[in-house]
A and B are shown apart, each in its own frame.
Chain A
Amino acid sequence: MSAPLVRSLRVVLYEGAGSRSIPDADRFAMMATLLQGGYAVTSVRTGSRTVPEGARTPIVVLGRFENAPPREAESDSAAAPIYFRDIEGVDAPAIASIVESVHAEAGTGRPGGWKPWFPVIDFGRCTNCMQCLTFCLFDVYGVSPDKQIRVQNPSNCKTDCPACSRVCPEVAILFPKYKMGPINGDEVREEDIHREKMKVDISALLGGDIYAALRTRSQESKQRFARERDDKRALEERRKCLNKLQEQLDVPPEVLAALPSLDQIRARTERAVAAAMQGPTPAGTEPQ
């Protein structure tokens, strides 16, 4: 998966040597508040570790320090500063403000801001058939230099749309935040494979059934409503039809409404295969 690397601020709630312990209820409230605000927090209780391993980003160490710490110091990696803030007598909401101000000072990336909804490929199941790349309307998928399918633009994914996982013949596409298995990462059972395969007929899904259903319903309703001179009811009919399809496939109506035609799908497939045969495409120029 490729996406821009963003430096984020890490928070250490320090109760090791030189810092008084925090009452349990306060510690819980502080951590819950910071986590909900999108920050990663390391709770240090033993004094053995002050800097989270793997951290190459600015860190703010919060503690009830016995001796006033420096406001800022260099970390071992020298790649990022460490900020110290005394939180004696400070409650959870005020801690959040302290961390916010360090975040602004350090110029770190804003945590959160979108529901992280994107496909994750189970390469234990994927056969690299490229149907997902062909299907996706939003260029979420791409091809790696070694011609392997990959999730190239996760933030392009349409929130709450699991459509590509329906298309994958191997049930290899996960959406960890999806409500049901196996798409949410639950184990894939034999009956799941059969059930998913029933929905998988890509030509029916894309070019056949949906369009046929929409066209038929729309023509029928047009004729009927032309007689009745009731455009509102025609719109309502279309909405009902989309709702029904949305329920069956759990695909947002705006995605259904934007589905490409069968010819467009074929053209996409040809371009995707050609791109895979030619090798890597420069970032941001995936097949359209």
Chain B
Amino acid sequence: MKTQPRIVYCHCAYAQVVPADVKQDVLRRLTESGTSFDAVADLCEMAARRDPWLAGVACQEPTQIVACYPRAVKWLFSSAGAPLPERGIRILNMRTESAETIAAALGTAADEDA
């Protein structure tokens, strides 16, 4: 049986780089999905203060992280001393993808490389 991926959603609360409508729509879909998930205010802020919770995310696979560019998220985790594993992590980009695309991707297993 496949493990249900953990979902981590980043609200990018302290900047307007993620389109507000995409962010709100993804959050709304998640809250209506009936699935448990983790939401954080701002992964950048957590990385800056090396929040130990990030290490917990990094060691649990499969995980889907809904945030921004995969390269940024990967090195943010690394900078916080919580490098993401090579496999089992999928990063979905709210800066470039629509809420529909992200919602559809969340319905599939996280089996891509970080």
The reply to whether the CB of A56 lies closer than 8 angstroms to some CB of chain B is yes
Are the C-beta atoms of A31 and B31 separated by less than 8 Å? Answer: yes
The CB with the most chain B CB atoms within 10 A, among A43, A49, A186, is that of A43
Q: Within the complex, what minimum Cβ distance (angstroms) separates B70 from chain A? A: 7
User: Known: A42-B39, A43-B36, A45-B36. Is A184-B72 also a contact (CB below 8 A)?
Assistant: yes
Q: Within the complex, what minimum Cβ distance (angstroms) separates B94 from chain A? A: 12
| Residues of A31-65 contacting chain B, CB below 8 A | 31-32, 35-46, 48-49, 52-57
Interface size on A, residues (CB 8 A): 58
Are the C-beta atoms of B56 and A54 separated by less than 8 Å? Answer: yes
| Residues of A137-165 contacting chain B, CB below 8 A | 151, 154-155
Are the C-beta atoms of A1 and B79 separated by less than 8 Å? Answer: yes
The reply to whether the CB of A121 lies closer than 8 angstroms to some CB of chain B is yes
User: Known: A5-B49, A53-B60, A120-B79. Is A39-B41 also a contact (CB below 8 A)?
Assistant: yes
Are the C-beta atoms of B50 and A174 separated by less than 8 Å? Answer: no
Residues 73-108 of chain B: 1 if any A CB is under 8 Å from the residue's CB, otherwise 0? 101101111000000000000010000000000000
The reply to whether the CB of A227 lies closer than 8 angstroms to some CB of chain B is no
Residues 7-33 of chain A: 1 if any B CB is under 8 Å from the residue's CB, otherwise 0? 010100000000000001001100110
Q: List 17 A-B contacts (CB under 8 A).
A: A1-B48, A3-B48, A24-B31, A28-B31, A40-B40, A42-B38, A43-B31, A43-B36, A46-B36, A52-B53, A54-B59, A115-B15, A120-B76, A174-B75, A176-B68, A177-B12, A184-B72
